[in-house]
Each structure stands twice: as structure tokens, then as C-alpha cells.
Amino acid sequence: MKKSFLLFALVCLLLSPLSHAAASTPKAYNDRSLIYLTFDDGPHRQTGALLDVLKKHKVKATFFILGNNIQGNERMLQRIVAEGHLIALHGMTHDRHKFYRTPTTAVREMQAVQKLVLQVTGVKTNIVRTPYGSDPYMTAAHRQAMTKAGFQMWDWNVDSLDYRYKTDNRRVQNQVFARLNANYKANVASIILTHDHSITPTALDYILRHSKKRGYEFRTLTGIKNPHNFFNKWR
């Protein structure tokens, strides 16, 4: 009789409105406890080591793929998809003179890498990050052309500066956590910019480990209707 009563009480607790609300209330896409980890310019040889770190910490990330780096790295691209990460687009050349020459050239580069990614992985994605971000080279005409072509543009609000401090893990780590703290105080989620040819596996491991200790949750840029970019910032 006593065991039956305890079982009944447990069922009632699980079905209570408070428990149901706590379990079913999702976090908003811009919740300050969320991190969207992104990698630009891949795939590279080092991508595999970074994927190992992500797998170790059970973290999913978003990879902005550069079309000219796909040849010879097709298996790496397929591994990114197979391990549950989000594939996104970063253009073909990363040459600002070629990419931004006209709105049409920008769109065509994104369409070209989109086609390559689809051929290699079977994934068609419309999530993009333009080379060097949407400021200062993206004009209103460029933005309109991208939107008309069906692309969703993303920038970042945490710059790891890994391209500047390539061998200085501590400076990269300090930069990331300084920006994470600032975004937390501003009550917005964090989108971290890293480069998979610059950030080291050691720095990435530290960032993931200590972010989780602080209670952050990692997500990919999937299914968000309100992208963050330099002309449409999260508030």
C-alpha cells in the first residue's frame, strides 16, 4: 500500500502544471544563456581535430563553408553533416573585390557554393555569412539581392580574434569570455565567430568546457526567422 501511494504521488507530481511548464517551455532563440558557435572558411585539414573536440563535448556548431576549399576536403564536409552540425555558406573566393563587385556577383558566389555543398552532402542550405561580414562592403542593393535570392544572412556578436592571435590561446579565450559576459549583461544570446584554420583545438576545448561550467547551452543557427547581422542586431 505504501509503495502504491508513493508511485501515485510521483505521477501526480510529474503531471502537475508546474512540472509540465518547466519541462515544455523552450528558450527563446536570443536567450542570454545560449551560444551559437560558428566556424568560417572551412573545410581544412584541421577541421577534423575541431570536430573531435566538438564530439567530446557533445556540442553542435554551424560551419560557413568556403567553396574553393571543398575540393580535396569532400569527406570532411560529409563528416560535418554526418555528425549533426549545420552547414552554411561563405561564398567561393573570400576576395572582397570579386565578391562585392556587384550585387549579382555576391549572389552568384553564394549560389555556386550552395550547389557544390548540395552535390557533396545532399544538403541544400540558404544560411550565409558574407566575407568579412555584412559591414562595410554590403550595400543596401547587395542586401536586397541576397534576400531576393532567398539567402538568410548572419554575422556575429563575439569575435574570437583567432585570426589575429593564432598561437596565443589565452588571448583568444579571454576575448571570447569578455564578449560572452558583455552579451549576458545585455541580455542577448552569443554568436561566436571562429575560423577553423585559426582557432586551435586547445582553445576550443577550453571555451567549450568553461562555457558549459557557466551554464551556457550550445545550438546551431537552425530554424531562426530573425537572423542577427550588423544591420539587424538582436536586442
User: 179 to each of 41, 130, 157, 167, 197, how far by Cα in Å?
Assistant: 22, 22, 8, 20, 21
User: 152 to each of 83, 93, 165, how far by Cα in Å?
Assistant: 23, 19, 30
Active site residue 40: yes
Burial of 163 (0-12, 13-18, 19+ CB in 10 A): middle
Write down the catalytic residue from 44, 85, 94, 195.
Answer: 195
Would you state the cell numbers that stand for residue 101, as one nine-digit string? 563587385
Active site residue 41: no
* Cα separation, 127 vs 71, whole angstroms: 21
* Cα separation, 163 vs 15, whole angstroms: 51
Q: Residues with catalytic annotation?
A: 40, 195
